[in-house]
Structure 1
């Protein structure tokens, strides 16, 4: 089987991302938090290293959310019946997203809380 040209592969990848954003509520929530972090990152002047950490975490959480959607779609394609292994696959994928989001939130607090407190102390 011949592989599609590189530009088509990118097209399929972007189509998958856009389909997830259109279909999945949770990825929209993650994107709202991403936008908020970007806003506060500029507002509070986080460092280049802190930006790199935030960007890495954006990529991790969003990628896992997309992967979770893919796993759910495959499981639903294979069976409509409630099966313990199907449930495990879906729950484990959702759990991976949750774990990454919790640790991203904790990391965000470590980065932003001291800067926010300092800003408030200087401006109140």
Structure 2
């Protein structure tokens, strides 16, 4: 077993934090530039997050509504990363690559379903009150 460390891993400290922030912003920029689904979900987030402050009666309700929206964005970014990596490996049809992409898509669908459940639960709770 090779016990050496990756030359690409940082050592820590303020420079690591600055680099991590830079890479994260580059990732968000890439998602926005290259992923139509991310842009659509981001547009939904721009509408839903302010709505969460109006709809949620408590801080916990607001946090749940916002967290559900953020979860969709997070899962979409991870799915996009998986798809980019898969495409870098090969653009040819491969059953395992196809399965990996399908699993990533399923994760996005499940996160959207969860967000819908959370939002509907809060709306129904308020309608019943």
Match of 1:121 in 2: none
Structure 1 residues 72 and 53, CA gap change in structure 2 (3 angstroms): same
Q: After TM superposition, list the pairs within 5 Å mapping 1:94-105 onto structure 2.
A: 94-105=105-116
Q: Which runs of 5+ in 2 are unaligned?
A: 1-6
Per chain length, whose mean CA-contact separation is higher, i.e. which structure has more relative contact order (CA < 8 Å, sep 6+)? 1
Counterpart Cα distance in 1 of 2:105 and 2:56: 33
CA distance in 2, matches of 1:101, 1:110: 14
RMSD over equivalenced CA pairs, Å: 1.9
Match in the other structure for 1:18: 29
TM-score of the superposition, structure 1-length normalised? 0.83
What is the alpha-carbon distance in structure 2 between the residues aligned to residue 100 and residue 20 of structure 1? Answer: 17
* Partner in structure 1 of residue 3 of structure 2: none
The change in CA–CA distance for 1:45 and 1:59 in structure 2 (over 3 A counts) is closer
Q: Name stretches of at least 5 consecutive residues in structure 1 with no aligned partner.
A: 119-124
Deviation at 1:34, TM superposition (A): 1.5
